[in-house]
Amino acid sequence: MATDMQKLMGASEEDDEEEMDVKEEDDEDEENGERRIAAQMMMGVDEVMPSTSSGGQFQHQQQLQEQVGTPGGGGARRSRPPEEKERTKLRERHRRAITARILAGLRRHGNYNLRVRADINDVIAALAREAGWVVLPDGTTFPSRSPGSRPTGGNSAGMTSSSSQMVSQQTPPTSLQGVSSGYRTSVEYNASRMKGVFMPSSSPYDLSSSARSQSSGMVGDGGEQIESLPFISGSMEAINDKQLGVINIKCELVDPDGLLKQLRVLKSINVDGVMVDCWWGIVEAHAPQEYNWNGYRRLFQMVRELKLKLQVVMSFHECGGNVGDDVCIPLPHWIAEIGRSNPDIFFTDREGRRNPECLSWGIDKERVLRGRTAVEVYFDYMRSFRVEFDEFFEDGIISMVEVGLGPCGELRYPSCPVKHGWRYPGIGEFQCYDQYMLKSLRKAAAMRGHSFWARGPDNAGSYNSQPHETCFFCDGGDYDGYYGRFFLNWYSQLLVDHGDRVLSLAKLAFEGSCIAAKLPGIHWWYKTASHAAELTAGFYNPCNRDGYTAIAAMLKKHGAALNFACAELNFLEQHEDLREALADARGLVWQVLNAAWDVCIPVASENAVLCLDRVGYNKILDNVKPVNDPEGRHFSSFTYLRLSPLLMERQNFMEFERFVKRMHGEAVVDLLV
């Protein structure tokens, strides 16, 4: 999907050569007024729409420049011969052509989401960030490991130009020093414009400091938490909006006046409610069981005053580095301190690289978090939330709680981490090499009487391998042998057991309230026998086995709804990158939906990619509210991603309003687009 978005946003090499603005400094061209004015004009086009008088302004500036450059103009600069000016133009044209090819290559092969009129400064900043440096909007650059050089300042609200999403801009407190070499402030994310391309230096928790895989295309397999509301009276009664960066790292509400205006506009078109991530890394940031809910309380009061519904996500993962993430919210500081002395609390790949995006499921029952197990930490957090916002539950304002179960809040292993070099359509890697999961594997192998099976596969390739390139995932490979079936059963059962443990405690903490869990849509390599990308993510779903029935049964056991990001997946199959990856989004969607509907659990959904046009909305409606389903099955709710100024633009908002009416079952004339 990210690759698809790249193609939509990027320009071809020929377009780049015509439109690219190059702002390199050159000793001979530094005082060339024509070049300077041209650069100003192109910047103006990128930032705002030029007025109709721009041509007159350009001519006027040219005349002023000529006056300054001539002796009669009163300036000190000498006029340059026409031959020299022509040579300068040729050199500049040559530079632009080279830069256009460089940028086209970075977009196509390196997954750099550079704007159409990017300049050399954007490229340098992108490369610096990939190397783990911090680059602020004013160009200030310093190593991310140098806390003393970080500027200090207050909080302010900002907006990314690439996604137009509101985010908080704050400087991390000094207690964050050393949490991760890849830690980035939201200021950096605003400046980088590189959604889904976060590539920090190796984590300080890694066993090996080497290790970065080669780049290829990337697809986000779901990077945000979603919400769902009940389906009422035969019509879709739930449209929700999601926005990142509403609460900053100090648990303060960012731009409350602006947010209130947006919420009022949404209320005016009968949007049912909003969804909010309650980040563990913000609320319990500094010390165990010291919770700060201040910003969330103020936000929830605003929502209640507008008579909107609330859905909340218990986000036990870090935010940053996935598709749609424009802020950086790490895990709590005290967790990072534990991780520095005991890095096995994090998921680990075969080469020993740690992933501090969330806690390993191996410590669910290990008292390694200052006397508590991981599930006890999750339960205490959820119970604190329930007590803090009791009146919102009693009044029915909070209609559902989604429980984060893994990276990006999804029930899966972090098998495809961009920060470790994964790019779509790589198969990913197994994440079971921390000491606690290896201990579980040894125990399972001993119970089977094959202690030599207490190891991970050594022929499963790397993050960016393809199934046929490995002996484990190829047709007839080891995945379907005796050892392979044992390992994959153990690996996938850990995923189900983790969901079972956390949801059982969530049901206890939120007794009487609806709870939900989220699954990703890993559709690449679905048409192969092994379904390799699903296997590394923990879904034991090869062509001869249904890997989603056990998960659906577990959700049914706890009365939990399924949130599945699939609203528009099954019309993406025409894209070339999906065909090359032997993807089958439609097949995956119907397999997961049937597993859920067979056990009669509610299904909610969201859009996985940005949608602003009628064609996209109609596709979503066809999938969320199928007209010809013989059993009358449908989704219980739909979450729109995401609330942003781009959505609020007149034409976009008119289409969205029409979409909301149709989702609620109102008759709307479907005029030609």
Closest CA to 557 of 601, 526, 592: 601
Q: Hunting for tokens 């969530």 — which residue is that?
A: 506
> Which own/partner pairs from 538-543 qualify as long-range (CB within 8 Å, at least 24 positions apart)?
538/411, 538/412, 538/413, 538/415, 538/491, 538/492, 538/494, 538/495, 539/412, 539/492, 539/495, 540/488, 540/489, 540/491, 540/492, 541/591, 542/479, 542/480
Average pLDDT over residues 563-585: 70
Confirm if 404 and 515 have CB atoms less than 8 A apart: no
Identify whether residues 120 and 263 lie together within a single domain. Answer: no
Residue 51 half-sphere exposure toward CB, CA atoms < 13 A:
5
Average pLDDT over residues 22-36: 43
* Pick from 57-66, 105-114, 177-186: least confident: 177-186
Average pLDDT over residues 392-397: 94
- Reported as type and span, the H/E element at residue 278 is strand 273-279
Average pLDDT over residues 140-161: 40
Q: How far out from the chain centre does Cα 99 lie?
A: 29
Average pLDDT over residues 556-578: 74
* Pick from 271-285, 411-425, 530-544, 644-658: least confident: 644-658
Average pLDDT over residues 586-591: 90
Model confidence over 436-446: pLDDT tens digits? 999 999 999 99
Residue 640's DSSP bridge partners are: 241
What is the distance between the alpha carbons of residues 410 and 225, in angstroms, rounded to a whole number? 8
Residue predicted with more confidence, 577 or 268: 268
| Predicted pLDDT of residue 540 | 98
Residue predicted with more confidence, 6 or 105: 105
* Residue 37 scores a pLDDT above 50: no
* Residue 52 scores a pLDDT above 50: no
DSSP state of 247: B
* Residue 649 is a catalytic residue: no
177 inside domain? no
Q: Average pLDDT of the chain?
A: 75
Average pLDDT over residues 581-610: 90
259 inside domain? yes
642 preceded by cis ω (within 30°)? yes
Q: Using the 3D structure, point to which of 99, 115, 137 is the last residue of a domain.
A: 137
Q: How far out from the chain centre does Cα 581 lie?
A: 21
Identify whether residues 391 and 515 lie together within a single domain. Answer: yes
Residue predicted with more confidence, 367 or 56: 367
Q: Hunting for tokens 């699954």 — which residue is that?
A: 519
Residue 310's DSSP bridge partners are: 274, 398
Model confidence over 76-111: pLDDT tens digits? 455 778 888 888 888 888 888 887 778 777 766 665
Most confident of 179-188, 378-387, 416-425: 378-387
* Residue 537 scores a pLDDT above 60: yes
| Predicted pLDDT of residue 306 | 95
Structurally, how many domains does the chain consist of?
Answer: 2
* Pick from 8-17, 168-177, 660-669: least confident: 168-177
Task: Indicate the pLDDT class of residue 342, thresholds 50, 70 and 90.
Answer: very high
Phi, psi of 559 (to 5 degrees): 65, 30
Q: For residue 223, give both structure tokens.
A: 């990077």
Q: For residue 442, give both structure tokens.
A: 């040894």
Confirm if 529 and 475 have CB atoms less than 8 A apart: yes
| Predicted pLDDT of residue 72 | 43
Confirm if 404 and 226 have CB atoms less than 8 A apart: no
152 inside domain? no
Average pLDDT over residues 51-59: 42
Query: Which candidate in 410, 429, 534, 655 is catalytic?
Result: 410
Query: Which candidate in 402, 429, 606, 655 is catalytic?
Result: 606
Q: For residue 531, give both structure tokens.
A: 């379904």
Average pLDDT over residues 298-319: 95
* Residue 483 scores a pLDDT above 60: yes
Q: Using the 3D structure, point to which of 137, 166, 200 is the last residue of a domain.
A: 137
Residue 624's DSSP bridge partners are: none
Confirm if 289 and 329 have CB atoms less than 8 A apart: no
SS (H, E, C) 378-434: HHHHHHHHHHHCHHHHHCCCEEEEEECCCHHHECCCCCCCHHHCCCCCCCCCCCCCC
Task: Indicate the pLDDT class of residue 188, thresholds 50, 70 and 90.
Answer: very low
307 inside domain? yes
Phi, psi of 598 (to 5 degrees): -65, -30
Model confidence over 264-283: pLDDT tens digits? 999 999 999 999 999 999 99
| Predicted pLDDT of residue 213 | 33
Identify whether residues 429 and 557 lie together within a single domain. Answer: yes
Average pLDDT over residues 277-293: 95
Range of the domain at 89: 85-137
Confirm if 451 and 550 have CB atoms less than 8 A apart: no
Q: For residue 17, give both structure tokens.
A: 């050569």
In order of 104, 195, 325, the CA distances from 491 in angstroms are: 40, 31, 28
Number of residues that this document lists for the chain: 673
185 inside domain? no
Q: Hunting for tokens 């006046």 — which residue is that?
A: 257
In order of 353, 468, 619, 625, the CA distances from 628 in angstroms are: 49, 39, 14, 9
Task: Indicate the pLDDT class of residue 643, thresholds 50, 70 and 90.
Answer: confident
Q: Using the 3D structure, point to which of 120, 137, 154 is the last residue of a domain.
A: 137
Identify whether residues 373 and 498 lie together within a single domain. Answer: yes
* Residue 340 scores a pLDDT above 90: yes
Closest CA to 235 of 653, 601, 624, 671: 624
What is the distance between the alpha carbons of residues 536 and 70, in angstroms, rounded to a whole number? 69
DSSP 151-181: -----EEEE-TTT--EEEE-PPPGGGTTS-T
Q: What percent of the chain has pLDDT over 90?
A: 48
Identify whether residues 330 and 477 lie together within a single domain. Answer: yes
DSSP state of 202: P
449 inside domain? yes
* Residue 41 scores a pLDDT above 50: no
**Considering just the CA atoms, what is the radius of gyration of the chain in Å?**
26
* Residue 606 is a catalytic residue: yes
Model confidence over 209-265: pLDDT tens digits? 333 333 333 223 333 333 333 332 222 234 445 445 688 889 999 889 989 998 999
| Predicted pLDDT of residue 167 | 32
Q: Decide: helix, strand or coil at residue 519.
A: strand
14 inside domain? no
164 inside domain? no
* Residue 134 scores a pLDDT above 80: no
What is the distance between the alpha carbons of residues 365 and 538, in angstroms, rounded to a whole number? 19
Identify the CATH number of the domain in which residue 274 sits. Answer: 3.20.20.80
What is the distance between the alpha carbons of residues 390 and 539, in angstroms, rounded to a whole number? 36
